Structure 1
Amino acid sequence: MLKKAFLTNSSGILLSRIFGFLRDMCMASILGAGVFSDIFFIAFKLPNLFRRVFGEGAFTQSFLPSFIYAKNKGVFALSVGGIFVSVLLGLSLLVCFFSPFLTKLLAFGFPPDVIALASPIVRICFWYLLLVFIVTFFGTLLQYKNVFWVSAYNTALLNVCMILALLSAKDQDKLEIVYALSYGVLCGGVAQIVLHFYPLYRYGFFKLFYHAFFALPSFYANMHKHAQRFKKDLKSFFAQFFPALLGSSTAQLIAFIETFIASFLSFGSISYLYYANRIFQLPLALFAIATSTALFPMVAKAIKNSQQDVALKKMSEAFWFLSLTLCFCVVGGIILKDEIISLLYQRGSFGIEDTLKTANVFALYLLGLLPFGISKILSLWLYSHKLQGKSAKYSLISLLCGTLLSLILIAPYGVLGIAFSSSFAGSVLFFLNAKAMGRKNFFCIIANKKWALITLFALPLEALLVYGFKILIQGYL
């Protein structure tokens, strides 16, 4: 089951990221790295943050256990969904009226004329927030039936719609291209929702919603009969959701804060961070997030059944798998940083200077790949013991450490200081999660001489092979 779920998640993530890189290649070629690309990245930053936070486990880790134990699952699901939709709808309407204020908060360093250009784009993109919640809500319900492929593959539709929007508007001026790209985001969100309809119908959720909808008036009319259990279910969900929201989103929140800080630097800085972070996120999602998503139900069930040894064994397997694969990515990525960025982005409006700056940012991001990835596994121990609050506390400490270091390093090192601070925050998070498990449990996970020796010998060998390949390619060029 673990291998099947992992392969489903990782293959879907890989397909989505392939289309994501095609999208970024089109954006780099058509928009380049300048004021207009920065405007879009600022506008898309908040909805994209929520897409990653919701999609990478925060909602699922809190809703799914509550849904399982809910006595009236249909009413519970509609109630939670209705609360979130109402709040996000109201928030989106507020943004429509106060988009200049929100834009100023997102990019405080932008001059007033650029804020004026960005505000309508922020207003359009913000509606994706509502769409991405609906996507995550439907996807979580399907995971209850062990259906993972829809959640894994649906993001590809967002990237396809954005690519089509870029290509359709490529001959227009750059501001019009940004508008087309923003509407492409909304079309992608609608397409993601539609993809869920057939599996929801097949597994009986539309029927569940139908009966629950007509049962709602009777349910609330006789609320005194259900009040205690229903309030307990809702309280349990929200008590887990808010800490999980912070606890599972450290990397995304750091990237969000980095964008705000980078708005005080020269135009293009936000774009360098975005393009580099996009590649950094590929191995993190492909290996760490896919593994933790598949592993979480197994660890949680083992701990619930007092089978701690089984949980530690599963986590040990995941730890060494991630350690080896992520270290391979770090070594290869740092050696080939210039070639990777050049191959993916250097064309059209994206020049060689942009490539070199993005490559250096990418290399510093990679230093945090292993700690961020392993933290995804270690944090499952806290979630399985219902210690979401402690996980949130550790994430907040990591976030503050990374932000403070960014503020210290931004003046002498610019975007490079921001990227290094992100990796430092990941190391802090890893240390705190390892400490929370306890020395004995942590050493049970890492105590594997065989895989330690394989990793020790494999990494230098990889470095020699990759560097030799780089020299060989440069000789031909």
Structure 2
Amino acid sequence: MLIKSIFTNSSGILVSRILGFGRDLLTASILGANIYSDIFFVAFKLPNLFRRIFAEGAFTQAFIPAYAKTKQKIRFTSAIFLQFLALILFLSLLVTLFSKFVTHVIALGFDAKTVDLAAPLVAINFYYLPMIFIVTFMAALLQYKHHFATTAFSTALLNLALIAALLLSKNLEKYEITYYMSYGVLVGGFLQILVHLIAIKKKNLLKVFTFNKINISENKFYKNFVSATVGSSTSHISAFLDTWLASFLVSGSISYLYYANRVFQLPLALFAIATSTALFPMIARAIKNKDEDNALRLMKKSTIILTALLAISTLIGIVFDKFIVQLLFQRGAFTSTDTTNTALILSMYLIGLIPFGIAKIFSLWLYSHEKQFLAAKISMKALGFNIVFSLLLITPYGAAGLAFASTLSGFILFFLTIKEFGFIKFKQLIFSK
């Protein structure tokens, strides 16, 4: 079942990422790497950060163990859904009302004119967040039922919507194109909700969408969720910090980091996230049933497979970094200089691929034991190191220094996660027959 689930997730992610690269190819060709691409990436950065935290970590890691243990599943899930949705809609409204302030915060290096250009896009794109929460909530329910296909393939709908937006607007002014892309993000979110609703209906889970009062188990869930949000988001917050700091560098730096990170995220998502998504419900069930031997067996199998896949990906990516970027992006407004700058940053990111991936697997052990606060402390320490490394490396090495700072924090994250799991237990797990 594990291999089948991993394959399902990987297949869906692969389809989505191929379309994503098609989207990025069009974006690079039509917009290039300049102020217009920068303001769209900044506008999409904040909801995309929350999407990754929700969809690839925090919510699921707090929700599934709590859902597995609660005896009032309908009451629990319906209350969590309504409370979360109300909070996120309120947050989205605040972003709309104070979009210039939010834009200035997330891109502090932008001047007043650039902030004015980006602010409306930030407001539009942020409404993707409530949509992706609805998707993530339904995806968590489906994952518990060992149904992964809908979620795995649905991200492709976002990419299709953005590709359509680019094709429809390619002959317009560049700033108008960013508006088309922003509304394309919302169309993609709506389509993702639609396909998940169909799957939820087939699984007879629509009854969870009712109102209930909060109870003790929900209070505990929220405590675990806050911790899991920090614990699962190190790499994403690092990328966000890269964007923020890169706004102080030359024009195009944000875009170089974005394109390089997109390539880096392919093997991370295709292998590490696909594996952890399939593995987590199985580990959570095993821990709930006090069958730690089975949980450890599943983790060992996943770790060996994942390490091999990530090592191959790292080697290929670093050796052929310039060729990969050139093949994917160098056309239209994206020049050979842009390729060289992006390729260097890609290599800096790829050095950290293995530690980030393996740390994600072993963090599941902590989440399954509901040690979200401990995982959060580990992540905060790694993030602190990332900030220090970024400040030290940005001046001498620019955007490449920011990428390498993120990689160094990945090694810190890996070391601290294995330390809490237990170095001796880790050695026995890996080398036992």
Which bin holds the TM-score, normalised by the shorter protein?
A: over 0.9
Question: In 1, Cα distance between the equivalents of 2:120 and 2:237?
Answer: 24
Match for 1:63: what amino acid?
F
Query: Is 2:234–2:379's contact at 8 Å kept on the other side of the alignment?
Result: yes
Alignment-derived partner of residue 160 in structure 2:
160
Partner of 1:283: 267
SS at match of 1:146: coil
8 Å contact 1:161–1:185 — kept in the other structure? Answer: yes
Indicate the residue corresponding to 1:361 in structure 2: 345
Q: Which has the larger radius of gyration?
A: 1
In the alignment, which residue of structure 2 is the partner of 1:266? 250
In structure 1, the residue matched to 2:102 is 102
> 1:326 — aligned with what?
310
Shift of 1:90: 1.0
Query: Which residue, 286, 294, 303 being the options, matches 2:287?
Result: 303
Partner residue in 1 for 2:51: 51
Partner residue of 1:235?
Answer: 219
Q: Which amino acid aligns with 1:269?
A: S
Distance 1:285 1:337 in 2: 18
In the aligned structure 2, how far is the partner of 1:276 from the partner of 1:159? 18
Q: Is the 8 A contact 1:371 1:430 kept in 2?
A: yes
CA distance in 1, matches of 2:17, 2:236: 16
Pick one of 364, 378, 384 that aligns with 1:380.
364
- Give structure 2 stretches of 5+ with no counterpart: none
Counterpart-to-counterpart distance in 2, 1:101 and 1:194: 33
Give distance in 1, aligned partners of 2:366 and 2:144.
21
Letter matched to residue 245 of structure 1 = T
Partner of 1:267, secondary structure, is coil
Displacement, 1:384? 1.8
Q: Aligned residue for 1:18? A: 18
CA–CA distance in 2 between the matches of 1:296 and 1:305?
14
Counterpart CA distance in 2 for 1:258 and 1:358 is 14
| Aligned-pair identity (%) | 51
Aligned residue type for 1:268: G
Checking the alignment, whether the CA contact within 8 Å between 2:318 and 2:347 is kept in structure 1 is yes
Query: How many Å separate the matches in 2 of 1:286 and 1:392?
Result: 24
Q: State whether residues 62 and 367 of structure 2, in contact with CA within 8 Å, keep that contact through their aligned partners in structure 1.
A: no
**Is the 2:65–2:370 contact (alpha carbons within 8 Å) kept by the matching residues of 1?**
no
The alpha-carbon deviation at position 208 of structure 1 amounts to: 4.5
Moved more, 124-133 or 139-148: 139-148
After TM superposition, what 4+ stretches of structure 1 lie above 4 angstroms from structure 2? none
8 A Cα contact 2:170 2:177, kept in partner: yes
Q: Structure 2 CA distance, aligned partners of 1:445 and 1:19?
A: 38
Partner Cα separation in structure 2 for residue 316 and residue 141 of structure 1: 26
The residue type paired with residue 78 of structure 1 is S
Going from structure 1 to structure 2, the CA distance change for 1:77 and 1:304 (only over 3 Å counts) comes to closer
Where do residues 121-136 of structure 1 align in structure 2 (5 Å cutoff)?
Answer: 121-136=121-136
Aligned partner of 2:218: which letter? L
How far apart are residue 444 of structure 1 and its match? 1.5
Using the alignment, how far apart are the partners of 2:299 and 2:285 within structure 1? 13
Tell me the amino acid that sits aligned with residue 236 of structure 1: K
Contact 1:9 1:149 in 2 (8 A): yes
Contact 1:201 1:207 (C-alpha < 8 Å) held by counterparts: no
Q: In the aligned structure 1, how far is the partner of 2:413 from the partner of 2:187? A: 36
Separation in 2, partners of 1:311, 1:66:
18
Structure 1 position 314 matched with structure 2 position 279: no
Q: Comparing 31-40 with 317-326, which one deviates more in the overlay?
A: 317-326
Q: Identify which range, 128-137 or 63-72, moves more after superposition.
A: 63-72
Is the partner of 2:57 in helix, strand or coil? Answer: helix
Shift of 1:448: 5.8
Deviations 1:319-345 (A, max 9, x none): 111111111111111110010000000
1:29-44, aligned counterparts within 5 Å? 29-44=29-44
User: Which residue number corresponds to residue 344 of structure 1?
Assistant: 328
* Pair 1:433 & 2:421 matched: no
CA 1:208 to 1:295, structure 2 compared with 1: closer, same or farther past 3 Å? closer
Name the residue aligned to 1:250: 234
Structure 1 partner of 2:431: 447
Shift in Å at residue 74 of structure 1? 2.5
Does the aligned pair in 2 maintain the 1:20–1:156 contact within 8 Å? Answer: yes
The structural deviation recorded for 1:144 is 2.7
Partner of 2:278: 294
Q: Contact 1:312–1:444 (CA<8 Å) still a contact in 2?
A: no
Give, as a single letter, the amino acid of the residue that structure 2 aligns with 1:336. Answer: F
Q: Say whether 1:406 aligns with 2:390.
A: yes
Whole-angstrom distance in 1 between the partners of 2:260 and 2:242: 12
Greater shift in the superposed pair: 91-100 or 354-363: 91-100
The alpha-carbon deviation at position 313 of structure 1 amounts to: 2.3
**Alpha-carbon distance in structure 2 between the residues aligned to 1:145 and 1:104:** 43
Q: How big is the shift at 1:445?
A: 2.4
- Distance in 2, Cα, partners of 1:322 & 1:207: 37
What residue is the counterpart of 1:144 in the other structure? 144
Q: Which residue of 2 aligns with 1:454?
A: none
Tell me the equivalent position of 2:115: 115
Deviations 1:208-266 (A, max 9, x none): 53xx45xx5xxx6xxxxxxxxx5212112112111111111111111011110111001
1:61 CA displacement: 1.6
Amino acid corresponding to residue 154 of structure 2 in structure 1: N
Amino acid at match of 2:236: Q
Indicate if the aligned counterparts of 1:157 and 1:192 stay in contact, CA closer than 8 A: yes
Aligned residues: 433
Q: Displacement, 1:143? A: 2.0
| Counterpart position of 1:463 | none
Q: Give the match's secondary structure for 2:215.
A: helix
**Alignment root-mean-square deviation, CA:** 1.4
User: Given that residues 74 and 207 in structure 2 are in contact (C-alpha distance below 8 angstroms), is that contact kept between their aligned partners in structure 1?
Assistant: no
Q: Is the CA contact 1:53–1:248 (under 8 Å) kept in the aligned structure 2?
A: yes
Q: Distance in 2 between matches of 1:307 and 1:205?
A: 28
Residue aligning to 2:194: 194
- The DSSP-based 3-state class of the residue aligned with 1:348 is coil
TM-score by length of 1: 0.88
Q: TM-score, structure 2 length as denominator? A: 0.97
For 2:2 and 2:56, the matched residues in 1 are separated by 17
